[in-house]
Structure 1
Amino acid sequence: PAGAPDRSLARKVTKVGVVGAGLMASQMALLFARRLEVPVVLTDLDQSRLDKGVGYVHAEVDKLLGKGRVSADQANRLKSLVTGSLTKDAFADADFVIEAVFEDMAVKKQVFAEVEAVVSAECVLATNTSSLSLTEMGAGLAHPERLVGFHFFNPVAVMPLLEIIRGASTDDATLATAFAVGKSLRKSSVLVKDAPAFVVNRLLTCFMGEVVAAVDEGTPLEVAEHALDGLGLPMTPFALLQLVGPAVGLHVAETLHAAFPERFGVSENMAKLVASGKPGVYRPDFSLDPEAVALFAGGTSPSTAEQVRERVLGALSREIRIMLDEGVVAGPQDIDLCMILGAGWPFHLGGITPYLDRSGIAQPRFLPPGVASLPA
C-alpha cells in the first residue's frame, strides 16, 4: 500500500486482545482467531456481555462447521482460541490490543490508559474509531508511538477495507505491524492521515449531509431518497442511515461539523429523529415510516431530483479535492479503493474520481486523461 513502511519492521503477533464484547468486538475476535490462528481474549466489565460475546463467536464457528467451511477439529480449535476475561490483566502477554468500545473520546482514553498499564512495551495499541482523532486519543499515553488506527467496516468478516490511520506519534514499527496484521486478515489496507472521519465516513457524511439538507429545505423525502438511483449504489441514502443507525450518523456529522463547520452541517430534523428514539426512517420491511418521515418537517422550496444529484456530486468532488490537498491519502486511487471496498461505490463506474472526471463535475480533473476514463 502507498506509504506503508518496510514490512521487515513488523513485529510478530502471537496473541490478540479485544476490549469490549459487543457485536463489533465479537466479529473482530472471530476474524483474528480464524486468520491469525492465535489466542484472542475479549474483556468487558459485565460477565453477561462477556458470555454473550464469546458465545457469538462459538455460534458463528458452528455455522462455519455446518456449511463445511471448517472441519470439526478446526472448529474446536477456533473455539478454544477465543476466551473472555473481566480484567485487562489477560492482555499482559498480548502483542496487539484493539478497542471496540463506545465512540467517545474520554472512554477510549481511559481504556488505553488501563491497557497500557498491563501490556508489554512492544504491544501495539489499536483503535477501531470511525471518526475520532488518534493524536488526541494518545496524548495521555506514556508511549503514544504505539497507537494506530485500525478501522474495520461492518460486517467485519465481509467488508474488505481496512483504514489504517497514522497518528502524529505513530512509529514505523507500529504501522508496519498494523499492515502485516491487515494482510494476514486478508483485508485491503489503505494508509490514512489522522483527519476527522478519515476517508469513507467523511465522504459518506458529506453525501448524506447534502441529501438531508435538501430534505430539510423542502425536497420531498421520497424525491431526495431516489435522486441518485441512476448511479447503481447498493442502497438509498436513508436505507444506509438506518443500517448505520441515525445516532451514529448524527455523531459523525457532529464530529465533522466541529472540524469543518463551513462544509458540514448538523440537521435539526436528524437530531429530532435521534431524540425520538425511533430506529430509523424505514420500517423493517424497508417501507417509509410515516411517523419518522414526519419528523423531517421540510421547508418551502422543493428541489428536483436532478438538482439534488448535482448538489451531492458537486459536494463530493469538492471534499475529495480538499482531502487530497490535505494529504489524507496518497492519491485519488486510494479514495477510489476506499469508496469501492468500504462504501460499495459501484465497481462498474471505475471509482469515484474517474466518474467525477468523466461526468465533467471534477474541475480540474483528478486523474490525467486516459487514466480510468472512457476512450474519446
Structure 2
Amino acid sequence: MTTSTNTFSLTRREDGIALLTMDVPGESMNTLKAEFVPQMTELLAEIRNDSSIKGLVVISGKKDSFVAGADISMLDACDTSEKASELSAAGHKVFAELEALPMPVVAAIHGACLGGGLELALACHKRVCSDDAKTQLGLPEVQLGLLPGSGGTQRLPKLIGIAKALDMMLTGKQLRPKQALKLGLVDDVVPNTILLEAAIKLVQSGKSRKPRKRNMQELALETSHVGRNILFDQALKQVERKTKGNYPAPLRIIETVRIGADEGMAAGLATESRYFGELVMTPESAALRSIFFATTEMKKETGAADAKPRALNKAVVLGGGLMGGGIASVTVSKAKIPVRVKDISQQGLSNALSYAYKLLSKGVQRRHMTPTQRDQQLSLMSTTVDYVGVKDADIVVEAVFEDLNLKHQMVQDIERECSEHTVFASNTSSLPIGKIASVASRPENVIGLHYFSPVEKMPLVEVIAHQKTSPETIATTVAFARKQGKTPIVVQDGAGFYVNRILALYMNEAAQLLLEGNEVEALDRSLVKFGFPVGPITLLDEVGIDVGAKIAPILEAELGPRFKAPAAFDRLLSDDRKGRKNGRGFYLYSKPKLLDRLQRKPQKQVDTSVYKVLGITPGTSSEYGNLAERCVVQMLNEAVRCLEEGIISSARDGDIGAIFGIGFPPFLGGPFRYIDSLGAANLVTILKGYQQHFGERFAPAPMLELMASEQRKFYR
C-alpha cells in the first residue's frame, strides 16, 4: 500500500519495512521547502500510528541526488529574524518527530546529501551511502553566512565528536563516502546497486549502533567542561585568524555547539534557531547568498543569446608551460575531453605531462581516485611537436608567450591545420583579442579565454569576444570552460579585459602607498584585514613583478595615464627581483632558520633590502586616508568604468569576476554590491577627496557620479 503527497510517498512492504521516498516534482535535485513540513508531519504521524510498520528507510526518488539542502530562496522572503527563526524551529519539530519514531529509521543516501539533507539523515537512527563519486555529505551553510538550522549543530557533534563536527561546519567541507564512513558519519558504504538492500539490512539490525571510537585526546577534551573550553578556545582563535572578524557565522556555530555540549540539546536547539534567524538578516549572509544565486543563474546561460554550443569532442593546447599544462590537466580531469598538447620542444611536452601527472597523483594520495583512474584520465592527453593529430580539434587553446607576432603565427597555423569550425581561444592576459584576430581569415572563430594562475585552483575564466566573434563561438567556449569546472564570465575586448584592469589600479595604488613610506607588512595586513585572501605586495610577488611590468605599459597606452605604474618599480627588475619565481621580490623565500622556527618568528619575512632598492625609508609615511580604502576605491571606480564602457554586461558579472578572479571579499558581495552598501554618493565624496589630494587618477567615473546624483543602486 502506498500513501502519497505532492513530494513524498510512503510504500509499505510485505516484510513490515516502509519506504519514505522524497521526489520534488519538476526539479532535478531534491531541496527542502517550508511547505513540506505539513506533508512530512502528516506522514510521520501515519507511520507512528501504524503498528504494521516495523522499520523505515528514507530514500530519494531522484537519480543522482538525496537532498541537496534547503531551498535558499525561501530565506529572502524573511523580513525579520523572527520569521527566519520560525523556519528553523519548524525543521527542529519535524526532525524530532522523525528521530522519535519507535521503529528503526535508516537514511539511504546516494548523490548530494548537503545542509538540510544531511540534517535529515542525522535525524535518522542510521545512515548508509553509495560509494559513487556523486555522493557527498556536508553542512556547507557557513559558506552562505549561516549555521545549520535544522539540528545539525547538535546532532553532528554527538555522532562524530565536537572537534570533527566543528571542522566540518566551520569549513563547509564535503566528505566523500569513505571519509564519511571513517568519521562515523555513516554506518556503511555500498555500491548504489544494492543501496536499498543494505538500508533494509540496517533497519533489521535495530536502532542501536556502535559509536565512533575516540582517541585519548578527544576523550580528554570533549568529556569534561575544562577540556571543552580548551577546544572551543582553540577553534575561536583559528576562526579569528582566518576570518579577521569579517564573518559572524563561524563564531555563532562555535557558541551554539558549546551551549549544546554544556547545557543540553534543548538549549542548543533554541540557540541554533535564534542565531539562524539573526544570521539570515546579516548583510554578510545576504551578500554570500547573492553569490550563490548568481552562479546558479549563470550555469543556465550560454553566454550568447539564442546561440547553442557546438559539440566538444577534442581539444588542442598550444604551449606546454605552466599555463598550458594546467589547461590541459583540467581538460582531461574535469571535462574528460581528449586533449593534444603541441609544443616546439619535447621538454615542453614532458613538462606538461609531468604537471598533469602530479596534479592527478594528488587525487590518488587523497584517495579521491585510484591509480587506475588517474592513468585512464592521463591517457586522454597526447603530445606532438608538429601539427599532427589536430585536424579534428573542436577548440584550440593557445597558451604561448605574450608576443603578438607569435600569436599571429598560431592563428594562421591553426587555420591551416584544423577545420573551418575550429575555435581558436587565446589565453592572453593583456593583448586585445581583436589584434590577435586581425590576421585571421575566419575571425569569427577567434576568442579570448583568459585563465588565472594556478589554473587548477582558480575558479574564474574570462571569455573575451571581439567585434567579429560569432555567438556560436562564444557559446562553445563558455560550454568548454564550464566542462573544465570553471565559472566563465563573458567580457568585451579591451586592454586588461575586466579582472586585470580593475586589479591594476588597486596594485598601482598599493605601490604608491609603499613609495610614500608605508611598510610592506602594514600594506598587506591592511588589505587582508579588509577581506582579501592576500595583500597586494604578496600578490605582486606571486604573480611576478616582471609580469606586472609587461602589462602596465599596455594598459597605460590603451586606457590613459591613470594606469601609469610608479617609475621606481623599474629598479626592482634592474635588481633582478621578479618575485617568488626567482626567490627575489619583496619577501624572503629561503627556508626559515631553525632558531627562527623555535622562536616562532613569522615564516614569511620582508626582504628589507628592497626598501633601499626603491629609495624609501619605511615607517615614515604621513598618508592621507585609510590604506585599504585608497586601494579599494580605485578598484570600485574602475569596475564602474568597465560597466559603463560595456566591458562587462552586468553588475552581477562584475561581482562574480572580482570575487572568483582576484578574491574580492565575498562577504561584501563584490564591487557593485559593496558600492550599493556604501552608497554611490558616499563613494563619490571619498574619491573626490583623494582627487584633490593626489590628482586625476581618483576622478569618479561619470556613471558613478550620475548614480550618486539620482540616488540609484546597481541592484534594486
- The yes-or-no answer on 1:320 pairing with 2:639 is yes
- Per-residue CA deviation, residues 216-251 of structure 1 (Å, 9 max, x unaligned), is 344444444444343121111110001101011111
Task: Report the equivalent of 2:655.
Answer: 336
Q: Pick from 505, 529, 532: which aligns with 1:233?
A: 532
* Alpha carbons of structure 1 residues 179 and 142: separation in structure 2 relative to 1, 3 Å: same
Q: Pick from 290, 295, 314: which aligns with 2:608?
A: 290
SS at match of 1:9: coil
Task: Report the equivalent of 1:112.
Answer: 411
Q: Pick from 671, 692, 713: which aligns with 1:352?
A: 671
Does the 8 A contact of 1:42 with 1:82 survive in 2?
yes
SS at match of 1:88: coil
TM-score by length of 2: 0.49
- The yes-or-no answer on 1:142 pairing with 2:441 is yes
Q: Supply the AA of the counterpart residue of 1:234.
A: P
1:124 CA drift (Å): 0.5
Give me the whole-angstrom Cα distance separating, in 1, the residues matched to 2:456 and 2:528: 27
Give me the whole-angstrom Cα distance separating, in 2, the residues matched to 1:227 and 1:35: 36
- Per-residue CA deviation, residues 11-70 of structure 1 (Å, 9 max, x unaligned), is 111111000101111111111012232221111111122112112212322222232222
Does the 8 A contact of 2:425 with 2:446 survive in 1?
yes
Deviates more, 1:296-305 or 1:339-348: 296-305
Does the 8 A contact of 2:524 with 2:537 survive in 1?
yes
Does the 8 A contact of 1:163 with 1:189 survive in 2?
yes
* Alpha carbons of structure 1 residues 72 and 309: separation in structure 2 relative to 1, 3 Å: closer
Does the 8 A contact of 2:302 with 2:475 survive in 1?
no
Q: Percent identity?
A: 28
Task: Report the equivalent of 1:157.
Answer: 456
* Alpha carbons of structure 1 residues 317 and 172: separation in structure 2 relative to 1, 3 Å: same
Give me the whole-angstrom Cα distance separating, in 2, the residues matched to 1:162 and 1:370: 23
Q: Supply the AA of the counterpart residue of 2:431.
A: L
Q: Supply the AA of the counterpart residue of 1:23.
A: L
- Per-residue CA deviation, residues 279-335 of structure 1 (Å, 9 max, x unaligned), is 321112421112223222249983437344343233223212211110111122211
Does the 8 A contact of 1:3 with 1:330 survive in 2?
no
Pairing 1:1-376 to 2, within 5 Å after superposition: 1=298, 4-6=303-305, 9-278=308-577, 279=579, 280-284=585-589, 285-298=603-616, 302-304=621-623, 306-359=625-678, 360-362=682-684, 364=705, 368=712, 371=715
- Cα RMSD of the aligned pairs, angstroms, is 2.4
SS at match of 2:351: helix
Task: Report the equivalent of 2:124.
Answer: none
SS at match of 1:215: helix
Give me the whole-angstrom Cα distance separating, in 2, the residues matched to 1:338 and 1:316: 12
Does the 8 A contact of 1:96 with 1:125 survive in 2?
yes
1:355 CA drift (Å): 1.8
Does the 8 A contact of 1:224 with 1:305 survive in 2?
no
SS at match of 1:31: helix
Q: Supply the AA of the counterpart residue of 2:683.
A: I
Name structure 1 gaps, 5 residues minimum.
none
SS at match of 2:353: helix
Does the 8 A contact of 1:41 with 1:82 survive in 2?
yes
Q: Which has the higher contact order (CA 8 A, sep 6+)?
A: 1
Give me the whole-angstrom Cα distance separating, in 2, the residues matched to 1:51 and 1:332: 42
- Per-residue CA deviation, residues 91-128 of structure 1 (Å, 9 max, x unaligned), is 22211100111112222112222222101101110011
Larger radius of gyration, structure 1 or 2?
A: 2
Q: Supply the AA of the counterpart residue of 1:348.
A: F
Give me the whole-angstrom Cα distance separating, in 2, the residues matched to 1:244 and 1:107: 22
Give me the whole-angstrom Cα distance separating, in 2, the residues matched to 1:340 and 1:87: 39
Give me the whole-angstrom Cα distance separating, in 1, the residues matched to 2:621 and 2:360: 51
Give me the whole-angstrom Cα distance separating, in 2, the residues matched to 1:315 and 1:346: 15
Deviates more, 1:210-219 or 1:20-29: 210-219
Name structure 2 gaps, 5 residues minimum.
1-297, 580-584, 590-602, 685-703
- Per-residue CA deviation, residues 245-266 of structure 1 (Å, 9 max, x unaligned), is 1011111212111112221112
* Alpha carbons of structure 1 residues 241 and 250: separation in structure 2 relative to 1, 3 Å: same
Q: Supply the AA of the counterpart residue of 2:644.
A: D
Q: Supply the AA of the counterpart residue of 2:588.
A: R
Give me the whole-angstrom Cα distance separating, in 1, the residues matched to 2:306 and 2:378: 30
Give me the whole-angstrom Cα distance separating, in 2, the residues matched to 1:158 and 1:310: 28
* Alpha carbons of structure 1 residues 160 and 225: separation in structure 2 relative to 1, 3 Å: closer
